[in-house]
Chains A and B, each alone.
Chain A
Amino acid sequence: GQQLNQSPQSMFIQEGEDVSMNCTSSSIFNTWLWYKQEPGEGPVLLIALYKAGELTSNGRLTAQFGITRKDSFLNISASIPSDVGIYFCAGQPSPPLANKLIFGTGTLLAVQP
Chain B
Amino acid sequence: DAGVIQSPRHEVTEMGQEVTLRCKPISGHNSLFWYRQTMMRGLELLIYFNNNVPIDDSGMPEDRFSAKMPNASFSTLKIQPSEPRDSAVYFCASSLMWSSYEQYFGPGTRLTVT
Write the residues of chain A forming the contact surface with B, with a CB cutoff of 8 angstroms.
Answer: 31, 33, 35, 40-45, 48, 88, 90, 92, 98-101, 103, 105-106
Total interface residues in chain B, CB < 8 Å: 25
List chain B residues, Cβ under 8 A from A100: 33, 45, 48, 56
Q: Flag whether B12 is at the interface (Cβ < 8 A).
A: no
Q: How near does chain B come to A6, taking the closest CB pair, in angstroms?
A: 10
List chain B residues, Cβ under 8 A from A45: 102-104
Q: Flag whether B34 is at the interface (Cβ < 8 A).
A: no
* A-B pairs with lowest CB-CB distance, top 6: A42-B105, A92-B101, A103-B43, A43-B105, A31-B101, A42-B108
Which of chain B's residues has its CB closest to A50's CB?
B100
List chain A residues, Cβ under 8 A from B91: 42-43
18 additional A-B residue pairs with CB within 8 Å, beyond A98-B56, A105-B42: A31-B100, A31-B101, A33-B102, A33-B103, A40-B107, A41-B107, A42-B4, A42-B91, A42-B107, A44-B105, A45-B104, A48-B102, A88-B43, A98-B55, A99-B95, A99-B98, A100-B56, A101-B103
Q: Flag whether B31 is at the interface (Cβ < 8 A).
A: yes
Interface majority SS on B: helix, strand, loop or mixed? strand
List chain A residues, Cβ under 8 A from B50: 98-99
Which of chain A's residues has its CB closest to B103's CB?
A101
**Are B108's CB and A101's CB within 8 A?**
no
A-B contact pairs, 28 of them (CB 8 A): A41-B107, A41-B108, A42-B93, A42-B105, A42-B106, A42-B107, A42-B108, A43-B43, A43-B105, A44-B105, A45-B103, A45-B104, A48-B100, A48-B101, A48-B102, A88-B43, A98-B50, A98-B55, A98-B56, A99-B48, A99-B50, A99-B98, A100-B33, A100-B48, A101-B45, A101-B103, A103-B42, A105-B42
